[in-house]
Chain A
Amino acid sequence: MEAIILQILNGLDKGSAYALIALGLTLIFGTLGVVNFAHGALFMIGAFCAVTLSRILTLSHTVVDDTQTDFLGNPLKVDVPYVMDWFGETTGAAIIDWAVPLSILFAIPVMIAIGVIMERGLIKHFYKRPHADQILVTFGLAIVLQEIIKYYYGANPIPTPAPAAFKGSFDFGAMLGFDPNIIIYPYWRIIYFAFAAVIIGAVFAFLQFTTFGMVVRAGMADRETVQLLGINIDRRFTLMFGIAAAVAGLAGVMYTPINSPNYHMGMDFLVLSFVVVVVGGMGSLPGAVAAGFLLGILESFASMREVLAVLPGLNQIIIYLVAIIILLTRPRGLMGRKGVMEE
């Protein structure tokens, strides 16, 4: 029992990342009908938003501190970040400490802007072209974005820690009444899961309960009729692309403390997210989310020692294996709608 709960928990954080990226991918596919291979790059750019903000926050100037001396006996020179000057020492330090959560605010406008520019500047011209062309051009775009990031930030992973308050882990098992020290879970991962749940909830609520969302859903169902009603559906879809980019970006921002961002993290996630989308069913938002969590949890179950003893190497291939089985037995994926990309 404990082991099962532990594996489910372990699967949650990866599953959350898969679900968020797959949600964005599905939003883009459902609205614009575009297969976006650059979505992993958006995830990566989101992560680098966090890196950028924490660099901006730690911009500093050198001050001579007379009270301390360095090893030569001269007065010690200390780098003081500007934020400490402006907000005082404790507040400034707290701001720097909370750089990653603060990056959420920074990343949302940046990612929406990137998404809108991408859609208007490039993707727009590919609606009428075959899916293969869309895959290829976004694949090229992903390479370009990735190389630009590599040029500016280097090829090495950049550690971006979580706020001190969320470092370490807590005893989740004891809370549920199990013996202590059996189910230990890092704080940040549970936060990541909660954050993902909030974002997913927000996207669904936005689509379900706002007029804008209603129009978008109508457009997803029948684009032409909505246009005939005199609604400029293209503009709304462009914004949805921005939102999808923001969802991927936020997934990236919050993932930085779990895995130090490097320039190819997007590609690593992209391949898996595509598998997730296909398993969930192209164009189905709940399918993408469900498949994301499902595959994340399956992956962590497959890496249990008991399982590996029977089927060695299963943890490496479980996702692909599930994808192959689902694709061959359920052509629409788990929750795909009838008639959407069944071929």
Chain B
Amino acid sequence: MFGLDKKDFRLLLLVAVLVVLAPFLLNPFPEGSAMAQFNAGYPDLMQRFVIFGIFAIGFNILFGLTGYLSFGHAAFLGVGSYAAIWMMKLLTMNVIPAIFVSVIVAGIFSLAVGWISLRRSGIYFSILTLAFAQMSYSLAYSVLTPITGGETGLQPKVTDPRILDGTLANGATPKANLFGLEMGSSFEWSVGGWLFTFNAGYYVAAIVMLVAFYMSIRIFRSPFGMMLRAVKSNQQRLNYTGLNAKPYTLAAFVISGMYAGLAGGLMVAMDTQVGAERMFWTASGEVVLMSILGGVGTLIGPVLGAGAIKYMENILSKINKEILHQWFAFMPDGIEDILVSLVYPFIGKGWHLTLGIIFMLVVIFLPGGLVEGGQRVARLFKRKKPAEDGPDGKTTPAE
């Protein structure tokens, strides 16, 4: 269906179901229970899951398929964000034009950057993209302050023109909406001890993310995706066959830049403010971490990686010493203190340490990321089964 084969359609369906049911799935623990801090089902975090999922899916189209490691993708996200906020300031608070313009502007910008950067490959390409991103960041902070707001950033103001919107009622603040449906509005449903929040903004972002995911599947399975993979496996050989790789890599670069712009536009739609810090090179590093952690070159990997990192950032970092003491309270006092002091460096403010260690372990032992890990575990179980069924387990066909 939708031009996908059975396996891909099942994957898309699975992702769709997970995304739609996320407010339930991410809130498995009742309100007020000791485990409630592991609940991730609040709108702000769920929005981040899907938005960074889009960002990582786009990055994966470039890095996963062509092997070009860009260290400057946050610049496109930032440019998209600025474009979106200007649409909201000048045109309307409706998110549709903001998102469209952010994609287009990011696409044009990535076309310019990609056209220059793709003249080189390998580490030079990484440095070039990094240089462009850092330049945009520095300029956004200094010279371009009239456009970007500099350090204070931008947010919609009551006095902005907004030519399509009517004048605001007295005392009302401009809020992002989709034809009147406010992004911040949510419906809460309380069952037993559980409180589920269904946020309008989240579902808008989720639908966009599903579309983005579907497009990425199509790109992966298309002849175009095949060409990109050929670039990754052996560009020289591709050149010898008389094909110019540049249009393909440039197209991949622009597509992934547009994905980043889309993510930036959605970010503004959810939370109507922009600052230059989201263009800093560590933000570009983060999307690299996401893709690698999840599994680069796989369909679902980047989304998983984005989810894992954002979950750690928001949940792990909230745990403090008191909570740890509660957990280990059943232990004798001495052991409790030792355990707490052992675990403490890895959580709370130190969650970056955990992230760094997990990332290193993944790169060293599991180059395919979480997806490869899952496949290995699955294979482990698969191998056992035939051995139980028949006397000769070795004759099972290769997977």
* A interface residues (Cβ-Cβ under 8 A, vs B): 35, 122, 125, 131-133, 135-137, 139-144, 146-148, 150-151, 267, 271, 274-275, 278, 282, 312-313, 316-317, 320-321, 323-324, 327-328, 331, 341, 343
Q: List 8 A-B contacts (CB under 8 A).
A: A133-B367, A137-B363, A137-B364, A139-B359, A275-B127, A313-B143, A324-B128, A327-B127
Task: Check if A331 sits within 8 Å of B135, measured CB to CB.
Answer: no
User: CB-CB < 8 A to B144: which residues of A?
Assistant: 313
User: CB-CB < 8 A to B367: which residues of A?
Assistant: 133
Given contacts A144-B353, A317-B138, contact A275 B131 (CB under 8 A): yes
Residue B355 interfacial (CB < 8 Å): yes
Residue B122 interfacial (CB < 8 Å): yes
User: CB-CB < 8 A to A331: which residues of B?
Assistant: 120, 124
Task: Check if A143 sits within 8 Å of B123, measured CB to CB.
Answer: no
Task: Check if B142 sits within 8 Å of A151, measured CB to CB.
Answer: no
Residue B243 interfacial (CB < 8 Å): no
Task: Check if A343 sits within 8 Å of B282, measured CB to CB.
Answer: no
User: CB-CB < 8 A to B213: which residues of A?
Assistant: none
Select the residue from A133, A267, A278, A312 with max chain B CB neighbours within 10 A.
A278
Task: Check if B123 sits within 8 Å of A282, measured CB to CB.
Answer: yes
Task: Check if A144 sits within 8 Å of B143, measured CB to CB.
Answer: no
Task: Check if B120 sits within 8 Å of A327, measured CB to CB.
Answer: yes
User: CB-CB < 8 A to A316: which residues of B?
Assistant: 135, 138-139, 141-143
User: CB-CB < 8 A to B360: which residues of A?
Assistant: 137, 140-141, 144
In the complex, A134 Cα to B367 Cα: how many Å? Answer: 12
In the complex, A141 Cα to B364 Cα: how many Å? Answer: 11
Smallest Cβ-Cβ distance to A125: which chain B residue: B364
In the complex, A35 Cα to B126 Cα: how many Å? Answer: 12
Chain B, residues 353-391, CB within 8 Å of chain A (1/0): the string is 101110110011001000000000000000000000000
User: CB-CB < 8 A to A143: which residues of B?
Assistant: 352-353, 355-356, 359
Task: Check if B134 sits within 8 Å of A147, measured CB to CB.
Answer: no
Q: State the main secondary structure of chain A at its contact with B.
A: helix
Task: Check if B356 sits within 8 Å of A271, measured CB to CB.
Answer: no
Task: Check if A313 sits within 8 Å of B138, measured CB to CB.
Answer: yes
Instruction: Tell me the smallest distance from the CB of A26 to a CB of chain B, in Å.
Output: 13
In the complex, A320 Cα to B130 Cα: how many Å? Answer: 9
Smallest Cβ-Cβ distance to B344: which chain A residue: A151
Residue B262 interfacial (CB < 8 Å): no
Task: Check if A320 sits within 8 Å of B364, measured CB to CB.
Answer: no
Task: Check if B122 sits within 8 Å of A267, measured CB to CB.
Answer: no
Cross-chain contact of B142 among A35, A136, A313, A343 (Cβ < 8 A): A313
Smallest Cβ-Cβ distance to A130: which chain B residue: B67
Please report which residues of chain B, range 59-77, place their CB below 8 angstroms from some CB of chain A when the two chains form the complex: 67, 69
Task: Check if B363 sits within 8 Å of A133, measured CB to CB.
Answer: yes
Residue B281 interfacial (CB < 8 Å): yes
Task: Check if B120 sits within 8 Å of A140, measured CB to CB.
Answer: no
Instruction: Tell me the smallest distance from the CB of A178 to a CB of chain B, in Å.
Output: 32
In the complex, A77 Cα to B65 Cα: how many Å? Answer: 68
* B interface residues (Cβ-Cβ under 8 A, vs A): 67, 69, 116, 119-124, 126-128, 130-132, 134-135, 138-139, 141-144, 281-282, 285, 288, 292, 345, 350, 352-353, 355-357, 359-360, 363-364, 367
Instruction: Tell me the smallest distance from the CB of B287 to a CB of chain A, in Å.
Output: 13
Given contacts A140-B360, A144-B353, A313-B143, contact A278 B124 (CB under 8 A): yes
In the complex, A139 Cα to B138 Cα: how many Å? Answer: 22
In the complex, A341 Cα to B122 Cα: how many Å? Answer: 9
Task: Check if B120 sits within 8 Å of A135, measured CB to CB.
Answer: no
Task: Check if A147 sits within 8 Å of B126, measured CB to CB.
Answer: no
The 10 closest A-B pairs by CB, nearest first: A313-B143, A143-B356, A316-B138, A147-B353, A320-B131, A140-B360, A144-B356, A140-B359, A317-B135, A137-B363
User: CB-CB < 8 A to A132: which residues of B?
Assistant: 67, 69
Task: Check if A323 sits within 8 Å of B131, measured CB to CB.
Answer: yes
In the complex, A136 Cα to B292 Cα: how many Å? Answer: 9
Instruction: Tell me the smallest distance from the CB of A163 to a CB of chain B, in Å.
Output: 34
Task: Check if A320 sits within 8 Å of B132, measured CB to CB.
Answer: yes
Task: Check if A317 sits within 8 Å of B139, measured CB to CB.
Answer: yes
User: CB-CB < 8 A to B132: which residues of A?
Assistant: 320, 324
- For the A-B complex with A147-B356, A320-B135 known, give 19 more contacts whose Cβ atoms are closer than 8 Å: A122-B364, A131-B123, A133-B367, A135-B69, A136-B292, A139-B288, A140-B356, A143-B353, A143-B355, A143-B359, A147-B353, A313-B139, A316-B135, A316-B143, A317-B135, A323-B128, A327-B120, A328-B120, A343-B120
Task: Check if A343 sits within 8 Å of B121, measured CB to CB.
Answer: yes
In the complex, A147 Cα to B350 Cα: how many Å? Answer: 7
Instruction: Tell me the smallest distance from the CB of B51 to a CB of chain A, in Å.
Output: 23
Given contacts A140-B363, A320-B131, contact A327 B353 (CB under 8 A): no
User: CB-CB < 8 A to A323: which residues of B?
Assistant: 127-128, 131
Smallest Cβ-Cβ distance to A132: which chain B residue: B69
User: CB-CB < 8 A to B122: which residues of A?
Assistant: 131, 341, 343
In the complex, A343 Cα to B124 Cα: how many Å? Answer: 8
Cross-chain contact of A321 among B119, B121, B135, B363 (Cβ < 8 A): B135
Given contacts A136-B292, A143-B355, A316-B138, contact A151 B345 (CB under 8 A): yes
Given contacts A320-B135, A327-B128, contact A341 B363 (CB under 8 A): no
Task: Check if A135 sits within 8 Å of B143, measured CB to CB.
Answer: no
